[in-house]
Structure 1
Amino acid sequence: MAIFTSTNLLQNVYNTILHEGLTTYKTKYSKATLPDRVEAEKADKRHKKGAIFVVRSKSDFTSTGVKGYIVTSKETLLEDAAGLSHFTPNVYRQFGYSDDKRTKIHGFEEKNLLQINTFVVDIDTKQHSVQEILLTCMDESIGAPTLIVESERGYQVYFVLSEPLFISNKQNFRGLTVAKRISDNLKKSLQSVSSDLFCNDFGFFRIPKKDNIVWQQLDQTYHMAHLIDWSCRQDDDLERPLFVVSSKFTTISVTQSEWFSKLIHAVDIKGEKGQLGRNNAMFTLALVCFSEGWEKERTFDFLDEYNSNLNYPLSLTEVETLLNSAYSGKYKGASKAYIEALLAAYVRGGSAIPVKFNYKGGWYKFKKERKDRERSHYEEWEQDIIAYISAQKSSFEMFLWRSQKEICEAIGIPQSTLNVVLKQSKRLLKTTKGKGRNAKTGWTTISLFLQYVLKKAVELSQRKGIYRIGLQEVVDEWIGEIEPIAGYDLLTLYLEKLDVVTPLTTKKTLIRDTG
């Protein structure tokens, strides 16, 4: 992996992630010069400020609360980073301590978010390499991430917003609902590299440090409008609305339904990382009881009996904590997705949820005709071209050889539109050999190019014994063939960041091949 040595790395990383959510310097005992503090204070007044939460160790996440402290300035975060394990990269508007000793923190609730800065996908395994994760992001998700942070057991993939999404309670936290759907789709898009579908969308994540950042491209950020467009397309074919299970939409009591009965008789529930378990099942049942209008005491008696029947019961304190959370009024009802996951994992043959949902006011619309979808027009053509190349290209060839006319006819794209897509695309690559009638055009993508390079390098290294030499030979052979269109500079950056070749050798190769 590439090693980052710049002393300004963390400062740039935190500035990119946090935007203007925290003050620049501490209000007391700052080490900055007076002129710098005065200038920063003027700039800080232009934006709302909040706080983030940090912890020193994973063991600080306890069943009775989270041990940690509150950070309100980037200066403090930068000074303390070396001794921290996790932080909330998204900023909260209210915050405080739960005890007199100021050791336990509270306020990191989704509806208390001031601004969402980034989406983070947790990959709780190291069976996939950083290269595989990156290629999957480009192939199956929205694109290259801003950061990949390594942990003891896996990786966390950061997709940072170019501008923060500010959360308010208007329209029943509509912005938060949209953000949670985007987060869900990002996690689903990375399932092939074992993304954790049930990881908290906007909670605590590994704090980036010099020794755990294994990929960083800080200028690779995402506009919220782009993320919404992408997320809508993920759901186009599913027509998936946003809803919760609520008894007022059913013809019978939810507690009398088949799935509820089967779930409470599933006594072997335990759970592990990346899989729903006892806490999720207990919380789901409590939410159902709450939505049914049960008194809190009645629900506690029910959960206590259910817990005692489990092969791996929770402590009474944990049951009370889950009950209090379910009855806090922060939740509308039980998540249908969670219920289905629990049934699939712990009920033989699963069970249907015979509930009709009366959903109104969703932010998804039925798919329009492409000619009417101006904002996503070129991006969808780009995706069609990529799909065509991927389906047609042989794994033994670097390029798919087709004339522009053949590409246009196969996909149904006008020539003028193809030219615009090529100028804008950061994922397509092409080459042209020959002149006039004898000219032929080769097509590929950044992802396919990187896959080819890595595959060929392995083959060469097996014959010659040195992987690095194999890599360089493949890059030397092909890099000069690619025309310098939009994705060209991005490709060379990927080669450097993936540690395929060093920046120096890449530049030498480009200078030699392009003149």
Structure 2
Amino acid sequence: MAIFVSTNQLLDIYNIILHEGLTTYKAKHSKATLPARVEAEKADQRHKKGAVFVVRSKADFTSNGVKGYIITSKETLLEDAAGLSHFTPNVYREFGYTDDKRTKIRGFEEKNLLQINTFVVDIDTKRHSVQDILLTCMDESIGTPTFIVESDRGYQVYFVLSEPLFISNKQNYRGLTVAKRIADNLKRSLQSVDADIFCNDFGFFRLPKQDNIVWHQLDQTYTMAQFIEWSRRQDDDLERPLFVVPTKLTKTSVVQSEWFTKLIHAVDIKGEKGQLGRNNAMFTLALICFSEGWEKERTFNFLDEYNTNLRFPLSMTEIETILDSAYSGKYNGASKQYIEELLAQYVPGGSSIPVRLGYKGVWYKFKKERKDRVRSHYEEWEKDIIQYISAEKSASEMFLWRSQKELCEAIGIPQSTLNVVLKRSTRLLKTTKGKGRNAKTGWTTISLFIQYALKKAKEFAQNRGLYRLGLQEVVNEWINELEPIAGYELLLEYLHKLNVSPPSTTHELIERDIG
């Protein structure tokens, strides 16, 4: 259920997303007082300004262009918000219209980005609750989002940067390349809640409005350094470097490769939401032809023949649009990831076909294999502990009861390393009952704690019809038992967001500092 936000709260959200990318007030017909406008103009001059693009409905995204308009001030965005459906939360450098009537917009290409303000993950289903999404963000992604917007069919999850990333053409748009890898890792980290990994990284998304925000924690923003460090760990798990910078083409023709031949003979390509399809395949082939130096007419004839063989062909207009886009010069080349996905989905045995794109690249070194390192990273030990607890803990228990010695032996972690992990971890929780030989140590995670509390609260509500009291009762039972390690502080924050107030405890100073 959406949380209704006031106009002032909505303005706070826009300020947090857009930073200083737009002017504060309209240049003409502003409703602000003269002193406020003068003060804002002085502040606005300290930062370069751009624009965002907006549309009134999803139907405005047409095959012949996007119908919408350009907004350059936060005041206009706030005034028009109720009548808009989508916007570009990231700010663009240049902007304009493609027709004299100023109905179709242009300029929302990635290389025209002035600054990246936020990463957004699209979840195009309501099979998962908001609580499921939040817990997945905590367990499998970088952390809780800044806010979540509800759409007719799903949710869009915003992870906002505390400071914008400014994009330039230096080193072949290196900053944009890194940002796209982070966006990809964020989407992949939320695949268990059906995140759309093929959604445009920095395109149009649902505009946060007074009646469509289902979660917000506006102080939960991330630095670019945090995103990069987290993304590096994700890349380590996938055994891929942070990014590749293409240099020059080799003499080997890509169109003679096995994967290219297999792909053009895959005639059952269609695709659906969240899955690559005909348009992606056609665009990929067009980019390859362009990189091979083919004339546009030759590529058109090739795509026309390929389209004729498809079981579900595209229209001639769609082919022309794809061809124009591929030959616009806005793209470095075809995406290896997309090619691999297409092969896996539509070519028998396609997952095992190697994909080479005919260019050399600057590859960053992989981290050593874990077995080859003298000491494993603390993050990896934390992951091992969490996996062990999740696998061994009974669903009917709040904790997994194991002595520290038993835990160390089961995972193969040295006692000294475990102590360091506990000091650093913001995901683990620990309790100890009894003393000496009779002492028992309980282990859990923030996510498992909240899941257990919500489950028990639901049972309580079924018996007595009082969900909130049930949740409070479960927390009251266990909160005093937890030790004040790093994860305890973060747990208090999450409980506060759930409107649960831990009773006065010996850790009350920690709670007061957080609140």
Using the size of structure 1 for normalisation, the TM-score is 0.89
Q: Which residue of 2 aligns with 1:22?
A: 22
- Note the 1:121-136 alignment, pairs <5 A: 121-136=121-136
**CA apart distance, 1:363:** 4.7
Q: Deviations over 1:439-476 (max 9, x none)?
A: 54433221110111122233444455654454343233
Q: Which residue of 1 aligns with 2:503?
A: 510
CA contact (8 A) 1:398 1:452 kept: yes
Q: Which residue of 2 aligns with 1:300?
A: 300
CA contact (8 A) 1:247 1:254 kept: no
Q: Does 1:355 align with 2:356?
A: yes
Q: Which residue of 2 aligns with 1:345?
A: 345
Partners in 2 of 1:263 and 1:247 — Cα distance? 24
| Larger mean Cα displacement after TM superposition, 261-270 or 127-136 | 261-270
* Cα 1:28/1:133, change in 2 over 3 Å: same
Q: Does 1:86 align with 2:79?
A: no
Q: Does 1:145 align with 2:145?
A: yes
* Cα 1:5/1:207, change in 2 over 3 Å: closer
Q: One-letter code of the match for 1:13? A: I
Q: One-letter code of the match for 2:288? A: V
**CA apart distance, 1:377:** 6.1
Q: Which residue of 2 aligns with 1:261?
A: 261
Q: One-letter code of the match for 1:56? A: R
* Cα 1:157/1:411, change in 2 over 3 Å: farther
Partners in 2 of 1:209 and 1:364 — Cα distance? 44
Q: Which residue of 2 aligns with 1:164?
A: 164
* Cα 1:394/1:323, change in 2 over 3 Å: same
| Larger mean Cα displacement after TM superposition, 173-182 or 395-404 | 395-404
| Larger mean Cα displacement after TM superposition, 287-296 or 196-205 | 287-296
Q: Which residue of 1 aligns with 2:311?
A: 311
SS at match of 1:53: strand
* Cα 1:329/1:391, change in 2 over 3 Å: same
**CA apart distance, 1:243:** 5.2
Partners in 2 of 1:321 and 1:244 — Cα distance? 27
Partners in 2 of 1:381 and 1:48 — Cα distance? 44
Partners in 2 of 1:455 and 1:20 — Cα distance? 43
CA contact (8 A) 1:92 1:113 kept: yes
Question: Alpha carbon RMSD of aligned pairs, Å?
Answer: 3.1
**CA apart distance, 1:295:** 0.7
Gaps (5+ residues) in structure 1? none
Q: What is the count of residue pairs matched by the alignment?
A: 505
* Cα 1:512/1:460, change in 2 over 3 Å: same
* Cα 1:86/1:14, change in 2 over 3 Å: same
* Cα 1:13/1:64, change in 2 over 3 Å: same
Q: Deviations over 1:45-87 (max 9, x none)?
A: 2222111111110011011111111111111111111111001
Q: One-letter code of the match for 1:255? A: V
* Cα 1:141/1:164, change in 2 over 3 Å: same
Gaps (5+ residues) in structure 2? 509-515
Partners in 1 of 2:486 and 2:121 — Cα distance? 27
Partners in 1 of 2:63 and 2:5 — Cα distance? 38
Q: Which residue of 1 aligns with 2:427?
A: 427
Q: One-letter code of the match for 1:90? A: N
SS at match of 2:126: coil
**CA apart distance, 1:122:** 0.7
Partners in 2 of 1:113 and 1:426 — Cα distance? 34
Partners in 2 of 1:468 and 1:428 — Cα distance? 25
Q: One-letter code of the match for 2:332? A: K
CA contact (8 A) 2:87 2:204 kept: yes
**CA apart distance, 1:430:** 2.7
CA contact (8 A) 1:246 1:333 kept: no
Partners in 2 of 1:29 and 1:371 — Cα distance? 66
* Cα 1:357/1:240, change in 2 over 3 Å: farther
Q: One-letter code of the match for 2:443? A: W
Partners in 2 of 1:372 and 1:398 — Cα distance? 35
CA contact (8 A) 2:182 2:227 kept: yes
* Cα 1:338/1:2, change in 2 over 3 Å: closer
Q: One-letter code of the match for 1:125? A: T
**CA apart distance, 1:235:** 1.7
Q: Does 1:33 align with 2:33?
A: yes
Q: Which residue of 1 aligns with 2:512?
A: none
Q: Deviations over 1:195-245 (max 9, x none)?
A: 111100000000111211111111111111111111111121433244599
Q: Does 1:479 align with 2:472?
A: no
**CA apart distance, 1:400:** 2.9
- Any runs of at least 4 consecutive aligned residues in structure 1 with deviations exceeding 6 A, and if so which? 244-247, 368-374, 512-515
CA contact (8 A) 2:247 2:362 kept: no
Partners in 2 of 1:229 and 1:387 — Cα distance? 21
Q: Which residue of 1 aligns with 2:233?
A: 233
**CA apart distance, 1:365:** 4.2
CA contact (8 A) 1:246 1:291 kept: no
Partners in 2 of 1:8 and 1:94 — Cα distance? 29
* Cα 1:448/1:97, change in 2 over 3 Å: same
* Cα 1:262/1:369, change in 2 over 3 Å: closer
| Larger mean Cα displacement after TM superposition, 330-339 or 255-264 | 255-264
SS at match of 1:161: strand
Partners in 1 of 2:12 and 2:431 — Cα distance? 36
Partners in 2 of 1:408 and 1:8 — Cα distance? 51
Q: One-letter code of the match for 1:47? A: H
CA contact (8 A) 2:136 2:193 kept: yes
- Note the 1:184-195 alignment, pairs <5 A: 184-195=184-195
CA contact (8 A) 1:385 1:411 kept: no
SS at match of 2:503: helix
Residue identity over aligned pairs, in percent, reads: 76
| Larger mean Cα displacement after TM superposition, 260-269 or 354-363 | 354-363
* Cα 1:308/1:322, change in 2 over 3 Å: same
- Note the 1:103-122 alignment, pairs <5 A: 103-122=103-122
SS at match of 1:429: strand
